[in-house]
Amino acid sequence: MATWLITGCSTGLGGSLARAVLEAGFNAVITARKLDSLESLAAEFPDTALPLALDVTDRSQVEASVTAAVERFGAIDVLVNNAGYGYRAAVEEADEAEVATLFATNFFGAVAMIKAALPGMRSRRFGTIVNLSSIAGRRASPGSAYYAASKFALEGMSDALRKEVGPLGIRVIVVEPGAFRTDFAGRSLQQAGANIADYAKTAGLRRKENDRTHGTQLGDPALAAQALIKVVGGNTPPFRLLLGSDAVQGAKDELDSQRQELERWESVSLSTDHR
């Protein structure tokens, strides 16, 4: 029976995935910063669920979670780096300490989990690492520069990682959800305190007090969870997996735009080679 370790299971996609994995009959190490948020789910699956308190920015907790998972279930087959949150601010508005904390969770927290889990996966020549990115990992919107940067970093790292560990039998999947009906754009969304008037028509439109999209998102987290289980269980999963019609359309638009720009400036690009 496969064992999953999932970070950020208290709500949202992580919570839906934790439930779906357990209902599918897998072992699951379910984690959140507040252990009490996991108690009811764990009680439903006493034999296959291991709830743990985990803040991915705390290296001692990261190591302890991997150790506990191996002690309870023998190995980690699937690591899902889901813990993370949104942050909105114009580039000029953002607080440097808040941005550092954002990266500590969204990027360096995932890296810490990967480095803790990889030795066991390497020794077994088996495992799957799933990194939750976002459509913002392909293109950035006004007001989400730093959030997008954390996801661009995650995707860049993941791209190199898959080429390093693929020959060792370990798979890496980047998941790029669009907007899902979770707490991401509500309780979990943070933003800078500064509010510069010149950005009112760009980044300002996406501040929490001006954003009317929360609660109307197209994406269903329960269906996303089922899709992830199906993809992870397949023999040839994609490296990048888009979730949601808005994500698919956004990626197509971005790729079209990039190709058009590349072709428009190709002659200048080629003119710099030695002759």
pLDDT in tens, 83-137: 999 999 999 999 999 999 999 999 999 999 999 999 999 999 999 999 999 999 9
When computed from its CA atoms, the radius of gyration of the chain, rounded to whole angstroms, is 20
Complete domains list, the chain, with CATH: 3-270 (3.40.50.720)
Cα–chain center distance at 220 = 16
pLDDT tens-digit map of 244-257: 999 999 999 999 99
pTM to 2 decimals? 0.94
CB 177 within 8 A of CB 244: yes
How high is the pLDDT of residue 206? 84
> In the sheet where 127-132 sits, what is the strand order?
49-53, 27-32, 3-6, 78-81, 127-132, 170-177, 240-243
d(CA 93, CA 236) in angstroms, rounded, equals 43
Active site members: 133, 147, 151
Q: What is the mean pLDDT of the chain?
A: 94
